[in-house]
Amino acid sequence: MTLRPPYLTARRLAATTAVLAALLLLSIAGAMLVGPVRASVWRALTDAESTDHVILFRTRLPRVLLGAVVGGSLGASGAALQALLANPLACPHLLGISGGAAVGGVVALIAGAEAISFVVPLAAFAGALFAIGVVYLCARAGGRSTPYALLLVGVVFNVLASAAIMLINVIASYSQAHGVLFWLMGSLSGQSWQLIAAAAAYALAGLAWLAAHAQDLNLLATGEEGAAQLGVDVERARRAIFVAASLLVGAAVSVSGMISFVGLIVPHLIRLVLGADHRLLLPASFLGGAAFLVWADALARTALAPAELPVGVVTALLGGPFFLFLLRRELARAAS
């Protein structure tokens, strides 16, 4: 790419992050105006009792903000996991964490919890924590956890999780099973302000944790042995990054279900345009993932209005073909 200078400076980091943050704010404001019914901003701002106020600030704003938080978490953790696994096409749902969260959430739903209560996210998060522990311990041998082992254990764990979900679904009643399916496909609606605030603080803390390892991620992306001999304590860095990224993914799935392709495509695109340095890539993937999911959810609200699509369906339908396109390009380049 000739768009960028050959290395990252503090100034370019600050300037690019500021521009992306501004774009995200515009996206949040813009997406708030999108929905199946028109609402007047003026009336919403001047009259706190108006329907317009309720639609814009009590229904849409929390949902848009949650979309930003979830998209950001998925984008940043995707970028980190791709470097951790030294594989630019890795996806945050690969490591089994999402599977664990899904099982936790589904169990809570079947046990009778409301999809919009805080019980489901908590149960899902417990499932994610369980999965993080199991995957890490299973992948560890001789004090090391290689990317290959993490990936393999993660894939197996995901298969087990989806089998468990199918099993639960077979046992459950028809209406419960339908609710489970809808939750799994991802939804950003109906969460409380408290939960959104907690998720936002949590996501920013996770981002900061990952960003503290940005240089380690740069070196790890060029290979494990290279990283070690350039000064990275590989095992320690890898554990910290795996835990931080997994906690972000687990929380994202817990509050919104399985939203695929954000964590895969956003970091990939950002790397193409802005380069691979994780000091920029991590915050940029966070902001980019946030904006992407905010707009994907706006589409989910309106595409089949008044019916609503699960946002995970939108990201998959947008992301899947695009991913195939990227993959084809990659393959063509490798073959030439």
Partner 1 sequence: MSALLEAERLRFAYGPRPVLDDVSFAIGPGELVGVIGPNGAGKTTLVRLLAGVLAPASGSIRLAERPLSEYRRRDVARRLAVVPQDAHVDFPFTALEVVLMGRAAHLPPLGFPRARDLAVARAAMQRLEVAHLEDRALDRVSGGERQRVLLARALAQEPDLLLLDEPTTHLDLRHQAGIHEVLGELSRSRGTAVLSVLHDLNLAAMYCDRLILLAAGRVLRVGTPSQVLTAEALGAAYRTQVYVGPNDATGSLVVLPLVRRRG
Using the minimum distance from each CB to partner 1, give the nearer residue, 68 or 83.
83
Judge whether 310 and 186 are in contact, CB under 8 Å.
yes
Using the minimum distance from each CB to partner 1, give the nearer residue, 52 or 277.
277
Residue of 94, 102, 131, 219 interacting with partner 1 (CB under 8 A): 219
| C-alpha 19, offset from chain centre | 21
d(CA 111, CA 77): 30
Residue of 70, 76, 83, 264 interacting with partner 1 (CB under 8 A): 83
User: Of the ranges 83-91, 100-108, 196-204, 290-298, which one interacts with partner 1 (CB under 8 A)?
Assistant: 83-91
How many residues are recorded in the chain? 336
- Type of residue numbered 116: I
CB 293 to partner 1: min, Å: 24
CB 205 to partner 1: min, Å: 17
Give the count of residues interacting with partner 1 (CB under 8 A): 37
Q: What is the dihedral of CA 93, 123, 169, 117, to 10 degrees?
A: -110
Q: Does 233 bind partner 1 (CB under 8 A)?
A: yes
Q: Which of residues 84-123 bind partner 1 (CB under 8 A)?
A: 86-88
Using the minimum distance from each CB to partner 1, give the nearer residue, 49 or 225.
225
Residue 275, phi-psi category: left (phi > 0), alpha (psi -120 to 50), beta (remainder): left
Q: How many Cβ atoms are within 10 Å of 228's Cβ, its own excluded? A: 15
Residue 214, SS3 per DSSP: helix
Q: Does 51 bind partner 1 (CB under 8 A)?
A: no
User: Of the ranges 30-38, 60-68, 118-126, 232-240, which one interacts with partner 1 (CB under 8 A)?
Assistant: 232-240
Task: State the maximum Cα–Cα separation within the chain, in Å, rounded to a whole number.
Answer: 65
Residue of 271, 293, 295, 310 interacting with partner 1 (CB under 8 A): 271
Q: Does 5 bind partner 1 (CB under 8 A)?
A: yes
d(CA 316, CA 324): 12
Q: Tell me how far CA of residue 147 lies from CA of 47, 128, 141, 220, 299, in angstroms.
A: 55, 19, 12, 11, 36
Residue of 27, 158, 218, 254 interacting with partner 1 (CB under 8 A): 218
Residue of 215, 299, 302, 308 interacting with partner 1 (CB under 8 A): 215
Judge whether 277 and 152 are in contact, CB under 8 Å.
no
d(CA 84, CA 94): 13
Q: Does 226 bind partner 1 (CB under 8 A)?
A: yes
Residue of 275, 289, 310, 312 interacting with partner 1 (CB under 8 A): 275
CB 26 to partner 1: min, Å: 28
Q: Does 134 bind partner 1 (CB under 8 A)?
A: no
Q: Does 222 bind partner 1 (CB under 8 A)?
A: yes
DSSP letter string over 61-82?
A: HHHHHHHHHHHHHHHHHHHHHH
Residue of 26, 36, 193, 223 interacting with partner 1 (CB under 8 A): 223
| C-alpha 99, offset from chain centre | 14
| C-alpha 130, offset from chain centre | 19
CB 257 to partner 1: min, Å: 30
Q: Does 9 bind partner 1 (CB under 8 A)?
A: yes
Using the minimum distance from each CB to partner 1, give the nearer residue, 141 or 170.
141
User: Of the ranges 23-31, 193-201, 216-224, 303-311, which one interacts with partner 1 (CB under 8 A)?
Assistant: 216-224
* Residues forming the site for partner 1 (CB under 8 A): 1-2, 4-10, 83, 86-88, 211-212, 214-215, 218-219, 221-223, 225-226, 228-234, 271-272, 275-277, 279
